[in-house]
Chain A
Amino acid sequence: MPDEELKRELKRLNRRVFLSGGAAVAAGLLGWEWLQSRPQEDHLPWPLRKGLELNESFAKTYFGEARLIREFPREAAGDIRPNGDVGIDDDDFEPSAWKLNVAGLAGGPLDLALADITALPRVELTAEFKCIEGWSNVVNWTGARLADLVKKYPPKDMTGSSYVSLETPDGEYYVGLDVPSAIHPQTLLAYEMNGQPLNSDHGAPLRLVIPVKYGIKNLKRVGRLAFTRERPKDYWAERGYDWYAGF
């Protein structure tokens, strides 16, 4: 190929790449800028929030009630880091006066005592508790299945598209759950940890243990539980985290 022709050919190719490549780079930078500058929904640009919700809808389609978290031998259980005290730092809290307020039931709201929970079938579970930060601890829990509570105290309406909401007695910490995760056979209202009654750091007298979700959903010191048709507010989802937060 003569030099002139070669130069022309190179020039042609360079121009083509400059145009298409330049357009691609510009589109990428604009897209990045656009994503970051979108109005926020609960501390995330809305396209990212939509992305999490899309992931959630995928996760729900392949959620298997029979898919269980792996259980460990009892001896594998150890201590767990109490990672925060939102909702349980209230000095006025009186454990002896504690009741679990349950709303959204067919028979109207109820106040349950701890004895009502311990009267439900006693279930033990030794499983890995996974914090959203990335650490995990194997812990042994004893409690009642939330599914057994639902069986004994039937909600007004509970379908695959309704929700369960839980909050601390002071209302400072609150979580929302999809029904399939809430009635998963390993979801417990726990009153013992590693063979001892729960201490206040870990949510005495009753806490949620939901191993199909990150630790942020495992509400300590449950004060209110409600079955609802609206998607419940969620403390950490309001702070930029995934509402679903499920494994």
Chain B
Amino acid sequence: MKRLEPKHPLAIRWFHWINFPLLAAMIWSGLLIYWANDVYRVGWGSWTLLHFFPDWFYNWTGLPHRLAEGMAWHFFFLWLFAINGLLYVAYTVFSGEWRYLVPNRNSFREAFDVVLHDLGLRKQPLPRRKFNGAQRFAYTGVVAMGFGSLVTGIAIWRSVQFGWLTWLLGGYQAARTEHFLLTVGYVAFFVIHIAQVVRAGWNNFRAMVIGKELVETEDIPTESGAEHA
């Protein structure tokens, strides 16, 4: 026998799905800005392994010569991105949802086990609960990254009025580098997140859309099941 069990609250689903196009718009407009001084690369001395970004990428995306437009979009959408993110954090705090999301004392060990499991090095099944240790780190970490983008962004954008922040971050160019690295981080998060969602299957994905998950009646998830019952 199967039944539908509540998993993700409506508010969290809205915040999540609204964040997706907003973050995409921030990254896109950020790239329009970055193009004007595209100095970052992976390499050593005069040897470059990877330049951000190769010509084929620019040609393919149509990013070049759009700095003014990029800045206008970036400083428009930043408010929506920030407000959505702050409301999400406020919601998780006041609703108590943070308890499922913030890593706890067991999360380190569990996250390690999850990584071993996902790499096929550990055969034991994963804990049956809303978010495992690895997910807690990932989902709390990505929110911290969002906060980091906001802070490094302010340090670049208003580097005199918030000069103390720019100084704390190591200076203007350091803040710019950090802002860029965080964006690389989102892209890495996105790739892993999508891969994991595909792996977890339709039922798990659908829960992020409709809010409920199909579970076997004799196999009620321990944590969220108890809370929501």
**Which segment, of B88-96, B119-127, B155-163, B189-197, faces chain A?**
B155-163
Does A17 have its Cβ within 8 Å of any Cβ on chain B?
A: yes
> Do A247 and B158 contact each other (CB < 8 Å), given the known contacts A1-B3, A1-B4, A13-B211?
yes
Query: Of the candidates B1, B159, B167, B217, which one forms a contact with A247 in the assembled complex, judged by CB atoms under 8 Å apart?
Result: B159
Does B106 have its Cβ within 8 Å of any Cβ on chain A?
A: no
Q: In the complex the two chains form, is A64's CB within 8 Å of B68's CB?
A: no
Q: Which residues of B contact A236 (CB under 8 A)?
A: 68
Q: Which residues of B contact A48 (CB under 8 A)?
A: 72-73, 76
Q: In the complex the two chains form, is A9's CB within 8 Å of B173's CB?
A: no
**Which segment, of A92-100, A129-137, A151-159, faces chain B?**
A129-137
Considering only CB atoms and an 8 Å cut-off, how many residues of chain B contact the other chain?
37
Q: In the complex the two chains form, is B75's CB within 8 Å of A55's CB?
A: yes
Query: Of the candidates A6, A13, A62, A242, which one forms a contact with B72 in the assembled complex, judged by CB atoms under 8 Å apart?
Result: A242
Q: In the complex the two chains form, is A69's CB within 8 Å of B36's CB?
A: no
Query: Of the candidates A1, A44, A55, A134, which one forms a contact with B68 in the assembled complex, judged by CB atoms under 8 Å apart?
Result: A44
Cα separation A14 to B17 with both chains bound (whole Å): 16
> Do A135 and B72 contact each other (CB < 8 Å), given the known contacts A1-B4, A6-B4, A247-B161?
no
> Could you tell me the dominant secondary structure of chain B's interface residues?
helix
Residues of chain B whose beta carbon lies under 8 Å from any beta carbon of chain A: 1-4, 17-18, 21, 33-34, 36-37, 39, 67-69, 71-73, 75-76, 157-161, 163, 166-167, 172-173, 176, 209-212, 214, 217
Q: In the complex, which residue of chain A has the Cβ closest to the Cβ of B4?
A: A9
Query: Smallest distance from the beta carbon of B97 to chain A beta carbons, Å?
Result: 20
Does A205 have its Cβ within 8 Å of any Cβ on chain B?
A: no
Query: Of the candidates A24, A55, A68, A132, which one forms a contact with B160 in the assembled complex, judged by CB atoms under 8 Å apart?
Result: A68
Q: In the complex the two chains form, is B68's CB within 8 Å of A17's CB?
A: no
Q: Which residues of B contact A17 (CB under 8 A)?
A: 209-210
17 A/B residue pairs, CB under 8 Å, sorted by A: A1-B2, A13-B4, A13-B211, A16-B210, A24-B18, A44-B68, A47-B76, A51-B75, A67-B160, A67-B161, A67-B163, A68-B163, A130-B159, A134-B37, A236-B68, A240-B68, A240-B72
